[in-house]
Amino acid sequence: MEPEKQVLDLKKWFNSKHYLRLWNVGPPGFLFSVAIVHGLHYAEQALLLKTFSLSSGWLWGLMTIVELDAIVLLVWVLFSLPPKERGIKLSKKGIYGFIRHPIYTAIVYHMPILYALSWGSFLILFFLPVHHIIWGKLVGREEKYLVGIFGQEYLDYMNEVPRFVPWPKPQKRTL
């Protein structure tokens, strides 16, 4: 018996549950982040708050490092869990062995840092911890959904792998 081929199931595109899941965190969160960053920039300009300027060498050097880091992160995502397997398979390999939400990591940290560097914005840099907290709350909704799909396996994964930043795991002490 031949295995079934996966075809595009158009029925699920008209299912409201699929639509809500598709727009659960990623796209609205990204739009929210862009709006907040632009709002902070305009507030900074309107209030004549202090900004910084870097020499062109430092500016382009730092921007290149942040951009390369984001590109490596996002390309690594494609090799770790191809788009056709997302939401179907729980991947713990590649980048997903270090952080649970690498795409969101790029949105939470890389995007605001690039804006802050290009605009010389202290306010956007100071906003990063708040941005992290907001995204932590948003992603909590998606993680409840993922626990519903993958169950205990995802709960164990949550205990083993950090959400956004690959913190080193504490070493167990032996006597």
Pairs from 158-161 (Cβ < 8 Å, separation ≥ 24): 158/100, 161/92, 161/96, 161/97, 161/98, 161/99, 161/100
- Location of structure tokens 């083993």: 160
Cβ distance 131 to 102 under 8 Å? no
Q: What is the pLDDT of residue 42?
A: 96
Q: What is the pLDDT of residue 141?
A: 85
- Location of structure tokens 């930043």: 165
- Average pLDDT taken over every residue of the chain: 85
- The encoded tokens of residue 174 equal 């032996």
- The encoded tokens of residue 157 equal 């994964």
CATH architecture of 54-165: Up-down Bundle (1.20)
Cβ distance 132 to 108 under 8 Å? yes
Q: What is the pLDDT of residue 122?
A: 95
Cβ distance 103 to 163 under 8 Å? no
> How many angstroms from the chain centroid is the CA of residue 42?
24
Positive or negative torsion for Cα 51, 57, 58, 63: positive
In the predicted model, is pLDDT for residue 23 greater than 60? no
| This prediction's pTM | 0.79
Q: What is the pLDDT of residue 4?
A: 47
Q: Is 109 exposed, middle or buried (0-12, 13-18, 19+ CB in 10 A)?
A: buried
In the predicted model, is pLDDT for residue 121 greater than 50? yes
CA neighbor of 113 nearest in space, from 102, 129, 100 = 129
Q: What is the pLDDT of residue 2?
A: 46
In the predicted model, is pLDDT for residue 1 greater than 50? no
